[in-house]
């Protein structure tokens, strides 16, 4: 049985549970339970404070965990990282009151900065050659300037709406973060096998999220040109249509290139283009 630690509540928790379900792993959740066991996979889920997850995994209380990269680096546990997961993306940023005439990071020399991430902030300030007074607080960082505790804050930002509602503006990006899968470096052989199976499923889900399955009709005189634009996993699948002189092409397109490729194949003569989401993709 592999023990997975995830954040007990919040966006990261929701995204983590969504990924596990997309991997075909079933479990029952309850706000009253601090752990649950899968009914169809050798996995037990522990619901913990995100700040505690790196330490629990390092100490072997949990075998693996999903945590924000910012928390992992702040706790000095980067060596535990197994995989970047691509969701719950955010940034650690410096912010000051909107009314401040902020020009550069050096405006913060000698100032007070409130944060829940003193290590990441100190490393950034040192890199920038800035000396400031760091006040470590555990929550409600955005209120610090309005109550006179600090002239600036350093906190996690997603959309920026929380900063705006507290009369602040983002001025520097300190660290980019996303969810990462971490693991204890002393897993036994059996737990390593289960982790490999879980990673296999995660990779299949990740590939599917980055790709689109497309089906189109094309005249034979345009087949080669369109085929060259649609590499697919190996090459496009081509099937003859009932109407003579036409074929159907099936392919997989990377989402980043999707619209550019669609425009090109349409210009080349493709018709009836269907775009279908992919649930899993195994290569």
Contacts 24+ apart (CB under 8 A), 132-136: 132/108
Average pLDDT over residues 14-43: 91
Tell me, rounded to whole angstroms, the distance of Cα 44 from its chain centroid.
22
pLDDT in tens, 70-89: 999 998 887 788 999 999 99
- pLDDT exceeds cutoff 90 at 267: yes
**CB contact at 8 A, 73 and 48:** no
pLDDT tens sequence across 183-203: 999 999 999 999 999 999 999
Confidence band for 140, pLDDT divided at 50, 70 and 90: confident
pLDDT 10s digits, 106-127: 999 999 999 999 999 999 999 9
Q: How confident is the model at residue 102 (pLDDT cuts 50, 70, 90)?
A: very high
Q: Quick one: tokens of 187?
A: 């897993």
Which comes out higher in pLDDT, residue 66 or 161?
66
Most distant CA atoms of the chain, gap in Å: 78
Cα gap 245→26, rounded to integer Å = 48
Least confident range from 118-127, 175-184, 247-256: namely 247-256
Indicate whether 233 pLDDT > 70: no
Q: What is the DSSP string of 136-205?
A: E-SS-GGGTGGGTS-SEEEEEESSSHHHHHTTEEEEEEEEEE-EEEEE-TT--HHHHHHHHHHHHHHHHH
pLDDT at 232: 62
What pLDDT sits at residue 90? 93
Walk me through the domains of the chain, giving residue ranges and CATH numbers.
2-86+178-207 (3.40.190.10), 90-177 (3.40.190.10), 211-277 (3.30.70.120)
Q: Which residues pair with 168 in a beta bridge?
A: 97
């Amino acid at each position: 049985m592999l023990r997975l630690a995830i954040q007990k509540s919040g966006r990261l928790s929701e995204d983590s549970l969504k990924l596990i379900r997309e991997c075909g792993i079933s479990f029952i959740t309850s706000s009253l339970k601090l752990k649950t066991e899968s009914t169809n996979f050798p996995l037990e889920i522990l619901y913990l404070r995100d700040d505690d997850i790196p330490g629990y995994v390092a100490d072997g209380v949990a075998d693996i965990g999903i945590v924000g990269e910012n928390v992992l680096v702040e706790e000095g546990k980067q060596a535990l990282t197994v995989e970047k997961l691509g969701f719950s993306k955010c940034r650690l940023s410096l912010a000051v009151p909107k009314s401040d005439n902020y020009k550069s990071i050096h405006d913060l020399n000698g100032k007070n900065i409130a944060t829940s991430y003193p290590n990441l902030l100190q490393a950034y300030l040192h890199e920038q050659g800035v000396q400031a007074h760091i006040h470590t607080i555990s929550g409600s960082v955005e209120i610090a300037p309005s109550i006179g505790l600090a002239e600036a804050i350093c906190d996690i930002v997603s959309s920026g709406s929380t900063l705006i509602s507290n009369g602040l503006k983002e001025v520097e990006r300190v660290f980019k973060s996303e969810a990462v899968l971490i693991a204890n470096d002393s897993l036994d052989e059996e737990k390593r096998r289960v982790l490999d199976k879980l990673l296999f499923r995660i990779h299949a889900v990740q590939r599917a999220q980055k790709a689109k399955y497309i089906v189109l009709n094309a005249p034979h005189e345009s087949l080669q040109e369109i085929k060259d634009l649609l590499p697919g996993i190996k090459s496009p699948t081509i099937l003859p249509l009932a109407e003579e002189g036409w074929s159907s092409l099936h392919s997989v397109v990377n989402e980043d290139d999707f619209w550019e490729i669609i425009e090109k194949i349409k210009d080349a003569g493709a018709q009836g283009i269907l775009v279908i989401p992919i649930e899993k993709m195994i290569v």
